[in-house]
């Protein structure tokens, strides 16, 4: 008979190694994936409308991702199969890049991959919650994020010369990167998982409405989580509303070259992300996600102000993206781990699914609002609105952090 502590160590070790190798083996694909909009424009002549759709797909597919994520909530025993089959399907369209010449197929592949990538997130987080102690979970997640972020940011520099030297070389690079990503299955199939959750309540709504009803019921049941979501919605909206403005601001206001944009957006952001990860891990262990969120929102508020300052001195552009990477490191940590943290000993997938739905809801109207305000009032108005939304988010998060601090310790424990 296996000793319980030995068995727990085995669960932890296999889950940890599978998660780490998955992130490492996904990195070559992410480096190419981030270049796909540029590839479609440069090599295939994609129209501005097609590029705009490509950018909008990232948040929009999150609404559909919630249906994939809900499978884990409704059937907790399908956590591993959700990951296995999700990854198998996500990479499959890229194997045909050698033979297909339709821009719309490439756009579909881009969106389909993001749909499954976001949809698998609740399954991964629940798996980490059950098989890894909290202190290990935070570190492993943060450090693998750093590796993936730096790799995804630096690889375009390393493979850029190949794309320039050999026309259409991306057609065979995508299938190779997809096969490398698939090879993570050899580590994933070793994961041991024993669902410890009680059987879920039967679904009482139509399958198409279930993710929305489940999310609404959870927010009503957990006002602390609802308050966190409201603050996070303001942060996300502040960051998202500025996105349609940035390309025009960079070209018309800052007169940037592609090299300058690349150094700022990938290199500086990646350095900021990597340098701050250990700090965010220490901070999130304190358990006060509202205080954590207030700091993220304050940093997000400063970012657009540095962009405005870059009109006077270009060095502020690089400072802005170092700060953005610093902020995004904490932002992604809180977005992904807020589910397990709020859930504590419950199934975390319903909490993580709410995060997924919130991204999709923002994606429906916030970028369009940003584009409309840009057209009507100019880039400065949109930048100031971004600052205002992030300021409100910081104040709101700080307010609920102070309320939580005023509670007795036992009540705080019950709340989070």
Query: Per-residue pLDDT tens for 350-398?
Result: 888 888 888 888 877 887 788 888 888 888 899 999 999 999 999 999 9
User: May I ask the CATH architecture of the domain 209-416?
Assistant: Up-down Bundle (1.20)
Nearest by Cα to 121 from 105, 106, 104, 141:
141
Q: How far is CA 161 from the centre of its chain?
A: 28
Rounded to an integer, the average pLDDT of 93-103 is 90
Q: At the top level of CATH, which class does the domain 1-188 belong to?
A: mainly alpha
Q: Are 277 and 143 in contact (CB under 8 A)?
A: yes
Name the percent of the chain lying above pLDDT 90. 23
Is the pLDDT higher at 55 or at 87? Answer: 87
Burial-class residue 103 by CB neighbours within 10 Å (0-12, 13-18, 19+): middle
Sign of the torsion formed by the C-alpha atoms of 227, 231, 236 and 241: positive
Q: What is the residue extent of each domain of the chain? A: 1-188, 209-416
Of the candidates 239, 209, 143, 211, the residue with the CA atom closest to the CA atom of residue 351: 211
pLDDT digits 0-9 by tens, 223-282: 999 999 999 999 999 998 888 787 777 777 887 765 566 566 777 887 888 888 888 888
Asked, colleague to colleague, whether 1-188 and 209-416 share their fold, the answer is yes
Kindly report the number of other CB atoms within 10 A of residue 122's CB atom.
32
């Amino acid at each position: 008979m296996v000793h319980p502590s030995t068995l727990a160590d085995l669960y932890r070790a296999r889950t940890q190694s599978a998660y780490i190798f998955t992130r490492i083996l996904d990195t070559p694909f992410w480096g190419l994936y981030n270049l796909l909009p540029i590839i479609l424009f440069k090599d295939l002549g994609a129209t501005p409308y097609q590029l705009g759709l490509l950018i909008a797909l990232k948040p929009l597919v999150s609404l559909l991702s919630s249906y994939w994520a809900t499978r884990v909530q409704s059937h907790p025993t399908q956590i591993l199969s959700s990951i296995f089959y999700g990854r198998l399907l996500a990479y499959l369209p890229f194997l045909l890049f050698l033979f297909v010449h339709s821009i719309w197929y490439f756009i579909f592949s881009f969106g389909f991959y993001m749909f499954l990538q976001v949809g698998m997130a609740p399954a991964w987080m629940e798996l980490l919650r059950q098989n890894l102690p909290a202190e290990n979970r935070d570190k492993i997640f943060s450090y693998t994020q750093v590796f993936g972020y730096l790799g995804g940011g630096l690889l375009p520099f390393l493979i850029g010369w190949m794309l320039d030297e050999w026309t259409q070389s991306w057609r065979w690079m995508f299938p190779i990167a997809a096969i490398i990503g698939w090879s993570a299955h050899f580590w994933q199939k070793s994961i041991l998982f024993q669902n410890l959750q009680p059987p879920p309540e039967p679904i009482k709504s139509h399958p198409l409405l279930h993710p929305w009803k489940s999310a609404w019921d959870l927010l009503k049941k957990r006002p602390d989580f609802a308050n966190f979501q409201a603050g996070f919605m303001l942060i996300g909206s502040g960051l998202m509303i500025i996105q349609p403005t940035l390309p025009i601001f960079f070209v018309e206001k800052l007169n940037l070259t592609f090299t300058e944009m690349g150094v700022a957006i990938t290199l500086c952001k990646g350095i900021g992300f990597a340098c701050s990860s250990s700090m965010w891990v220490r901070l999130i262990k304190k358990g006060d996600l509202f205080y954590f969120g207030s700091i993220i929102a304050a940093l997000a508020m400063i970012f657009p102000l540095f962009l405005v300052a870059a009109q006077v001195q270009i060095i502020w552009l690089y400072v802005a993206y170092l700060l953005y990477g610093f902020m995004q490191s904490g932002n992604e940590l809180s977005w992904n781990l807020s589910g397990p943290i709020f859930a504590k000993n419950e199934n975390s997938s319903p909490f993580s699914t709410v995060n997924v739905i919130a991204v999709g809801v923002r994606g429906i109207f916030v970028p369009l609002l940003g584009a409309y305000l840009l057209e009507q009032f100019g880039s400065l108005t949109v930048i100031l609105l971004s600052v205002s939304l992030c300021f409100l988010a910081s104040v709101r998060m700080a307010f609920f952090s102070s309320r939580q601090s005023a509670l007795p310790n036992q009540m705080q424990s019950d709340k989070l």
